[in-house]
Amino acid sequence: MADSTTPCPSPSGPSAGRSWWGWGAVDKALSEAECTALGQLLPGAADTPLPVPDISALALPKVRVEPPSALAPLMSTAPGDRASHTYGKAYRDVIRALRGDLTAAPDQVARPRSERHVVDILDWAADAGVAVVPYGAGSSVVGGVEYRADAHRGVVSLDLSALDRVLEIDRVSRAARIQAGVLGPALEDQLRPHGLTLRHFPQSFEFSTLGGWLATRAGGHYATLYTHVDDLVESLRVVTPVGVNESMRLPGSGAGPSPDRLFLGSEGTLGVITEAWMRLQERPRHKASATVLFEDVHTAMEAVRAIAQSGLHPANCRLLDPGEAGLAGVARNGESVLVLGVESAHFPVDGRLAELVALARDHGGSPASAEPGAADGAADTWRSAFLRMPYLRDALVRMSVVTETFETACTWDRAPELYETVRGRLAEVVKDVTGAAGTINCRFTHVYPDGPAPYFTVIAPGRRGSEVAMWDEIKSAAMDILHDLGATVTHHHAVGRDHRPGYDRQRPEPFALALRATKRALDPAGILNPGVLIEPATAG
Amino acid sequence: MADSTTPCPSPSGPSAGRSWWGWGAVDKALSEAECTALGQLLPGAADTPLPVPDISALALPKVRVEPPSALAPLMSTAPGDRASHTYGKAYRDVIRALRGDLTAAPDQVARPRSERHVVDILDWAADAGVAVVPYGAGSSVVGGVEYRADAHRGVVSLDLSALDRVLEIDRVSRAARIQAGVLGPALEDQLRPHGLTLRHFPQSFEFSTLGGWLATRAGGHYATLYTHVDDLVESLRVVTPVGVNESMRLPGSGAGPSPDRLFLGSEGTLGVITEAWMRLQERPRHKASATVLFEDVHTAMEAVRAIAQSGLHPANCRLLDPGEAGLAGVARNGESVLVLGVESAHFPVDGRLAELVALARDHGGSPASAEPGAADGAADTWRSAFLRMPYLRDALVRMSVVTETFETACTWDRAPELYETVRGRLAEVVKDVTGAAGTINCRFTHVYPDGPAPYFTVIAPGRRGSEVAMWDEIKSAAMDILHDLGATVTHHHAVGRDHRPGYDRQRPEPFALALRATKRALDPAGILNPGVLIEPATAG
């Protein structure tokens, strides 16, 4: 009963108009004047922005490997391609790109246009001892797409953005077979005519791909219930060096350990995800949102816990602490702000929202509007600030401000201590490292019945030339603090290379043995994204 | 903030009053006269029940291995222990036990009282080349606890029922640390004083353990949303032959592939689950249920699909086809019956139930009562029939009736064809094998937005002495049919040994390589539940 769809044509090249060094679209970056003005708001920032280097002036390392002629049409050594595929978009990536440091550039950027191309590229790479770094749209903030080893004859960045089609839609089961390289907006464009949506909107939505979400267990739109993309997966198709792994399309199964759960979160180390059958939603017709203010952040946390444990499952339930709310412009007097949202394709949701707001009020909150669900300025303000944040971050980087985020999750019994300890201990570290008090804000991006996912933002003035070292010292301390508190090193940013110290400590040792054994079985030549999750295997 | 609890004492020995050959409690089994009367209802059944053999008269194989003296106090070779740990409770298990065939009996039954004991037993077994079959309460219906190979010096059944305590409760996060060997009722008894519940009620609830549920990805109370026990897991503690695997207690994480998901569904092949932190619920204060009748089963399926896709998440949403509804006594005129239930610890649920009933009515259903939520006889009737079924099954077995169930899951686009094809093709097979038309009923036990989990019951007269061969032929055909239709070999009964032919076909080959590599890494001597999920490794 599945009916095929006519795929939408891609409007333009896969990365047209995209910044090679910073976030997103070139035309949305802040101007020199805006950067300077922003810097003036922050004591200790530089007076003038770091210049953006011209690609033609960059020193790229020599290309060490050439593909066989059959694959040559898929490959590029153009400086713009190599430069834009060197790093992800972490703070330490952006600052190094601005510094013109491209020693880690891949030798080749491959753009397969079919699964067959992916197979052929992996076959060649395994034979030739060439590392392959799968690349969706490069929004990793954990060093997930940057080759850092020295154990391979060369490195290919495998850019999957040409695999950008919705191949099949099953309206009855509400699911679609989708190629992994599709960007968020192009995916939704192809689903919209069918009245369907994946409704997975990570902050990186415009500049990340389905395959990237799956490989990194991305966190999306839903603050409760369906938080990670994992739960939206019906089946996966993964090209491994030893064969294609295709799981059955099933709504649920108990046949052995889940095959899909091995590849979800494998971050390109075990195979390249080329397609997935994804569970879809009908587009919501009923939406309502409200904001609730709290004078005390701990009271707010208790209210959020009550909501998370109520079974009401709000689509949005984001708590901004006073600093975060102030920065986003949704609170003026040091309040914490809870943004609530409910949605349904079938039923009016005002009653549900009223129940949520009542619960928040019972726990000490003050609704921002007397009439929940009415036009809610704060929710809109916050949303637009949310999408603007990465561009502001880049501007701050240019003004030599150390600015980065990290996220975690812990059980509720530890949440208040986590909030206070991270802010307290990390503020000391920030002061030691930068000489300034800095700002450490927090929001809860997702909440579960048994705990929240706190997301921290750090902002402090940096010293030109020392930015990476300064951030690395702060990040290292943050990982120590999270580990001490029994919190995960990442809730939805993945492990990559930057989180290895924290991940290695928290991963149970028998599971590490299992992962290494699996890596040897599926990638015997050790070519797939070496250094991510597990020790780089030796090149074949 | 986690506060320790005083564990409840176990009321009696772990298996006191339990049937060694059939389901559940000895005193709930049907009498000889009841068996005979039941047989008379079914054309082709025997005239008199098969006798239940006396344990003292059974021929048990010679004990081949003895534990070291330090472990001897934990071990038993008592005939009752060995007999009761030979099989699970599948049809083919019960009939073989009734026939007195105990050639597969374990040499020793071990009852560790601590995790240290589990470690010591595994260490000894790995050195001695002795197979270890983890055993919760033995309710497997897929050959999960029966050693069938011939590659080990002996076999120990590792009965975990003495590890039966709730060790710690975190009320704030609503979670508890629980030993794996606890039976369902004893677990709920220990949680009840705290106002909490795991609310995981598989049909085997009284005679299965937390560890068994986790190792087999059991399906529980909730018909939607939280169907498998997987989603209730915060962290696991697993003794593997190479060390203890303890995952962090987290509400959610994106740090690499989930370690817990490797052990969930591993069925004792990779390690022995000794403890888990489980997510709990507050006990529901508001409950409402309703039944809706449908004249046509396909109309009923469409209504269930609409409900599963509505986002209303009923706790109960079980569809009985005409045969199943007739057998359970909840429909008299060939209707299909939908049993709906809603529950909440916090909010009245009548409105939600009304929405569900309205949706069912919009899709062609007739509510059984004018007032949904009112005392609902059909739901209660069905529930008590549901719990009585395994005892009736045993009585039918004694009357030489071939009677067994199997379950699956598929996407909605395939569900109508699956329903018709299984009933059509399997009826032919049943007729070929048994010479009688037989009965093939179906219910949906769990439903997802993208598909149902259909559960089939087969009843047909058998020939004394050929029962196992007859059922195996029917089961083999059922696995073929499910595979042809793209449905899973099991939704929540696990793979064990009986489902290997279907599982081996549906498991992607690279994942099989990963599983084998993991097995070699974690169980290098190949002692853990050999033959389940993957090829038995050679004994060390």
Average pLDDT, consecutive stretches of 10 residues, N- to C-terminus, chain B (540 residues) = 38 68 93 93 92 92 97 97 97 96 97 98 98 97 95 97 98 98 98 96 95 97 91 98 98 97 98 98 94 97 97 95 91 94 92 95 91 62 78 94 96 98 97 94 97 97 95 98 98 97 97 98 98 70
Q: Which residue of B has its CA nearest to A449?
A: B173
- The C-alpha atoms of residue A439 and residue A471 are separated, in whole angstroms, by 14
Cα nearest neighbour of A499 on chain B: B255
In sequence order, the 6+-apart residues with CB closer than 8 A to the CB of A329 are A381, A385
Q: What is the DSSP string of B157-205?
A: EEE-TT---EEEEETTTTEEEEETT-BHHHHHHHHGGGTEE-----TTG
Task: Please indicate whether residue A351 or residue B302 has the higher confidence score (pLDDT).
Answer: B302
8 Å CB contact of B450 and A251? yes
Q: Are A163 and A180 in contact (CB under 8 A)?
A: yes
Question: For residue range A78-102, what is the model confidence (pLDDT) as tens digits?
Answer: 999 999 999 999 999 999 999 999 9
Which DSSP helix (H) or strand (E) runs through B80?
helix B79-84
Residues B352 and A347: their CA atoms lie apart, in Å, by: 11
pLDDT at B386: 75
Most A CBs within 10 Å: which of B253, B350, B479, as the mutation test of the A interface? B253
A-B CB pairs within 8 A amount to 293
The token duo for A20 is 């090679």
CA distance A70 to chain B (A): 27
**pLDDT tens digit sequence for A376-427:** 666 777 677 777 889 999 999 999 999 999 999 999 999 999 999 999 999 9
Q: How far is B496 from chain A (nearest CA, A)?
A: 9
B311 to A270: CB separation less than 8 angstroms, yes or no: no
Which of B225, B452, B521 is closest, CB to CB, to A514? Answer: B521
What number is the average pLDDT over the span A461-472? 95
Cβ <8 Å between B250 and A494:
no
Q: Closest chain A residue to B269 measured between Cα atoms?
A: A256
Q: Which of A254, A486, A508 sits opposite B217 (nearest CB)?
A: A254
Compute CA B534 distance to the chain's CA centroid, rounded to the nearest angstrom: 20
Give A510 to chain B, closest Cα distance, Å. 6
Q: From the CA of A421, how many Å to the nearest CA of chain B? A: 16
In this complex, the residue of B261, B282, B506 whose CB is nearest that of residue A257 is B261
The residue of B172, B233, B283, B350 whose CB has the most chain A CBs within 10 angstroms, and thus the best one to mutate to test that interface, is: B172
Q: First-to-last CA distance in chain B? A: 45
- Asked whether the predicted pLDDT for residue A241 surpasses 80, the reply is yes
* Rounded Cα gap, residues A58 and A78, in angstroms: 12
Task: Give the residue ranges of DSSP H helices in B58-137.
Answer: 79-84, 91-98, 115-128
Are B251 and A449 a contacting pair at CB < 8 A? Answer: yes
Interface contact A246-B508, CB threshold 8 A? yes
> How close, in Å, is residue A356 to chain B by CA atoms?
11
Lowest mean pLDDT among A209-218, A360-369, B1-10: B1-10
Q: What is the pLDDT of residues A143-199, one digit of tens each?
A: 999 999 889 999 999 999 999 999 999 999 999 999 999 999 999 999 999 999 999
| pLDDT (0 to 100) of residue A328 | 83
What angle in degrees, to the nearest 10, is found between the helix axes of A415-434 and A467-484? 150
pLDDT, mean over chain A: 93
**Cβ contact, residue pair B263, A257, below 8 Å:** yes
Mark yes or no for CB contact B251/A513 under 8 Å. no
Cross-chain CB nearest to A522 (options B174, B502, B513): B513
pLDDT at A234 over 90: yes
Element (H, E) at B110: strand B108-110
Give the chain B residue whose CA is nearest to the CA of A263.
B257
CA distance A339 to A385: 13
The answer, yes or no, to whether residue A10 has pLDDT greater than 70, is no
**Which residues are B407's β-sheet partners?**
B455
Q: pLDDT (tens digit, 9 = 90+) per residue, A251-287?
A: 999 999 999 999 999 999 999 999 999 999 999 999 9
Give, for B273, the enclosing helix (H) or strand (E). Answer: strand B272-279
**In the predicted model, is pLDDT for residue A7 greater than 90?**
no
Contact A257 B515 (CB under 8 A): yes
Partner-chain contact B175 A450, CB within 8 Å: yes
Chain B contact set for A517 (CB, 8 A): 514, 517-518, 520-521
pLDDT in the model for residue A207: 95
The two structure tokens encoding residue A136: 């969706």
Please list, residue by residue across B4-28, b when 16 or more beta carbons sit within 10 angstroms of its beta carbon and e when fewer do: ebeebebeeebbeebbbbbbbeeeb
Pairwise CA distance, residues B211 & A514, whole Å: 21
DSSP state of B339: E
Tokens 């209660």 correspond to B380
DSSP assignment, residue A79?
H
Q: Cα separation of B103 and B150, whole Å?
A: 12
Taking an 8 Å cut-off on Cβ atoms, the answer to whether A174 and B450 are in contact is yes
Residue of A nearest to B169 (CA): A413
Q: How far apart are the first and last CA of chain A?
A: 45
- Interface contact flag, B254 A218, Cβ < 8 Å: yes
- Alpha-carbon gap, residue B381 to B385, rounded angstroms: 6
Q: How many CB atoms lie within 10 A of CB A325?
A: 28
3-state secondary structure labels for all residues of A442-478: EEEEEEECCEEEEEEEEEEECCCCCHHHHHHHHHHHH
Report how far Cα A274 is from the mean position of its chain's Cα atoms: 19
Alpha-carbon distance values, A326 to A298, A375, A440 (Å):
17, 20, 12
Q: How far apart are CA A323 and CA A316, in angstroms?
A: 20
Chain A nearest-CA distance from B12, in A, is: 32
pLDDT at B370: 64
pLDDT at B375 (0 to 100)? 52
Min Cα distance B526 → chain A (Å) is 15
Question: Residue B233: which H helix or E strand, with range?
Answer: strand B233-240
CA distance B309 to chain A (A): 8
Q: Would you call A256 and B265 a contact, using CB atoms and an 8 Å cutoff? A: yes
Nearest CA in chain A to B502: A255
DSSP string, A323-347: HHHHHHTS-SSS-EEEEEEEEESSS
- Nearest-by-Cβ selection for A254 from B219, B249, B257: B219
Pairing of strands A439-448, B75-76: unpaired
State how far the Cα of B277 lies from the Cα of B246, in Å rounded to an integer.
10
pLDDT confidence of residue B475: 98
Q: Which residues partner with B92 through β-bridges?
A: none
Is A254 close to B516, i.e. CB distance below 8 A?
no
> How many separate helices (H) and strands (E) can be counted in chain A?
15, 18
Residue with tokens 């598989």: B202
Closest CA to B83 of B66, B99, B71, B64: B99
Chain-chain contact of A240 with B345 (C-beta, under 8 angstroms): no
Alpha carbons within 13 angstroms on the beta-carbon side of residue A239 total 22
On whether the CB atoms of residues B252 and A409 are closer than 8 A, the answer is yes
Report the run of H or E that residue A481 belongs to, with start and end: helix A467-484
Q: What is the pLDDT of residue A188?
A: 98
A70 exposed, middle or buried (CB, 10 Å; 0-12, 13-18, 19+)? exposed
Q: Which of B122, B242, B258, B286 to probe the A interface (max A CBs under 10 A)?
A: B258
Q: Do A256 and B533 touch (CB under 8 A)?
A: yes
Q: Which residue has the tokens 């491209």?
A: A102
Write out chain B residues lying below 8 Å of A279, CB-based. 449-450
Res. A453: pLDDT tops 70? yes
Tell how strand B286-294 and strand B366-367 pair up. antiparallel
* Closest-CA distance of chain B to residue A474, Å: 20
